[in-house]
Amino acid sequence: MSPPLLEDLITLDRLVHEPARFAILTALTACQRADFQSLQAITGLAQGNLSGHLQKLEAGGLITIDKQFNGKYPHTWLEVTADGRAAFEEHWKRLDTSVTRVRGWRALAGMAIQMDDPSGTVRRASASPSASAADSFHDVRRLADAAERLIDAALARHAGNRRRAAEELGISLATLKRKLRRRRGQTQTGGRGV
């Protein structure tokens, strides 16, 4: 059995991939070192939320937190570690690899999916001599299954909250609702769609 089509996405480091922590690492990687207030202004996170994410990143060894006092006022400096920079770059590499694969499959799917003709005959349009329509169809089906699993996992993590799941997945709420309606329609019609 071949590996999952989007294995790079499924195996992403959750410590880095969480949107707020990804934003924090993006900012710190760009400037190497920042103070708490600057990072809060850049990310737009609430003070307590930012503090909690910073603690998780520090526990993971991705950043260092240096708390100093200027007179009686605390001043917190944050810096990305070598491990943090490496994890951030690996994360981008995996995302880029997945995007490249999806673009290839999308092009292949658009040109090589087996289509049923209403007359009962089957037409095939092959994208290349080496790729058969049936293989392409199975690749597209596996990709769709992986996308459904990602949606299900995001909904489970957010206790069914569609808005939060859509944010995590990086899609609009309308797109998520459309995908769920389409899946519900396929379930009711035995997998053929509506």
Q: What is the pLDDT of residues 64-101, one digit of tens each?
A: 999 999 888 989 999 999 999 999 999 888 888 888 87
Instruction: Answer with the residue of higher pLDDT: 175 or 3.
Output: 175
Average pLDDT on 48-77 reads 94
3-state secondary structure of 33: strand
What are the structure tokens assigned to 2, written together?
């071949």
Instruction: Answer with the residue of higher pLDDT: 131 or 22.
Output: 22
Listed range (20-24, 115-119, 177-181, 189-193) with the worst mean pLDDT: 115-119
Average pLDDT on 96-111 reads 70
pLDDT value of position 67: 93
pLDDT value of position 189: 57
Classify domain 133-194 by CATH architecture: Orthogonal Bundle (1.10)
DSSP 94-143: HHHHHHHHHHHHHHHHHHH--EE-TTS-EE---SBTTB-HHHHHHHHHHH
User: Does 140 score more than 90 pLDDT?
Assistant: no
144 confidence band (pLDDT: 50, 70, 90): low
pLDDT value of position 153: 83
Residue 179, CA distances (Å) to 11, 133, 138 in order:
23, 24, 19
Number of alpha helices (DSSP H) and beta strands (DSSP E) in the chain: 9, 5
Question: Which is it for the CA torsion 31, 36, 42, 48, positive or negative?
Answer: positive
pLDDT value of position 4: 58
> Kind of pairing, strands 73-80 and 122-123?
unpaired
Question: Which is it for the CA torsion 61, 27, 15, 11, positive or negative?
Answer: negative
User: Does 132 score more than 60 pLDDT?
Assistant: no
pLDDT value of position 60: 95
pTM above 0.75, yes or no: no
CATH 1.10.10.10 assigned to 1-103: yes
Do domains 1-103 and 133-194 share one topology? The answer is: yes
Average pLDDT of the chain to the nearest whole number = 77
User: Does 46 score more than 90 pLDDT?
Assistant: yes
Which position has the token pair 């959750």?
14
- Please choose, from the candidates 170, 18, 26, 150, the residue with its C-alpha nearest in 3D space to the C-alpha of residue 85: 26
pLDDT value of position 3: 53
Indicate the domain borders of the chain. Answer: 1-103, 133-194
